[in-house]
Copies of this chain bind each other. A is one copy, B any other.
C-alpha cells in the first residue's frame, strides 16, 4: 500500500548521483540551505534516507556534487565589444548566476570550490584580464579580486533595497548622536541606495575595473 509520491518524475526512474544532486539544488534554490537535509531530500525523492548514502559518502560530498550541477548552469555572455564591456558582461553574468543559485554563496563560504566544473566559469574571466595586458601573476590577483567582489556582493548585499528598507536605515542613521557620528549622519541620504541592488553592484564594479585598467595602462607604459 505505497502511494505514488512523485506525480511528474517517475519514482522508478533510476536514482543516480546526478539526479540526487539536481534535486538537492532545486531544494536549495527553492527553500534555502536550512531546508536541505538528507532526510528531507530522500523524502522528496521518494526513497529512504539511507538510500542516498549509496550515492554520496556524506552530506559534504552531496554539496560538492551540487556545485558541479550548478556550474553547468552558468551562461557565458557573447565575447563582443571592447575589453571593458566584455569584463562587465562577464561579471554581470556571474552575478546573475549566483542570484539564480543563491545557496552557492553559502556553500562557497563553508569551503573553497576547487571543482574542475567551476574552472570553466573562471576561464572566461581570466581570458579577458590576460587580453588587457596583465601578466599571469597579476591577472590571477585581479581575477581573485573580481571573484571576491562578486561573491561578496552576492553574500552581503540584499537584492534591491525596498523604499521601506531605505527609509528605515535613513531614519536609524539620523537618530544617531550628532557629535559621535557626524560622518554617518552626513551620508545618511545615500546609505539606503547603497545597501544593494543592481546600481550598487555596477558602481563597485566600475571602480574596481577602473583600478585594474589603470594598472594595465601603467604596465603598457613601463614596457
Which A positions have Cβ atoms within 8 angstroms of B? 105-106, 108-109, 112, 114, 116, 119-120, 122-123, 126-127, 129-130, 135-145, 147-149, 151-153, 155-158, 169, 172-173, 176, 180-184, 186-191, 193-196, 200, 203-204, 206-212, 214-215
Contacts and interface: CB of A to CB of B under 8 A. Distances in A.
A140 B215 contact: no
A210 to B, nearest CB: 4
5 contacts: A114-B172, A126-B186, A137-B194, A144-B194, A149-B152
Nearest to A214: B210
Identify which of A151, A195, A211 gathers the most chain B CB atoms within 10 Å of its CB: A211
A42 B182 CA distance: 40
Given A109-B106, A145-B203, A203-B145, A191 B140 contact: yes
Given A144-B157, A169-B114, A137 B207 contact: no
Nearest to A113: B156
Contacts of A184: 119, 122-123, 126
Contacts of A129: 187
Contact of A109 (B109, B122, B126, B196): B109
- Secondary structure at the A interface, as helix, strand, loop or mixed, is helix
Contacts of A127: 182-183
Contacts of A208: 145, 207-208, 211
Contacts of A148: 149, 152-153, 156-157, 204
Given A137-B187, A147-B156, 8 more contacts: A105-B109, A106-B109, A119-B176, A122-B184, A137-B189, A140-B187, A144-B157, A145-B207
A207 B144 CA distance: 12
Contacts of A215: 207, 210
A151 B150 CA distance: 12
Contacts of A209: 211
A37 B157 CA distance: 27
B151 A149 contact: no
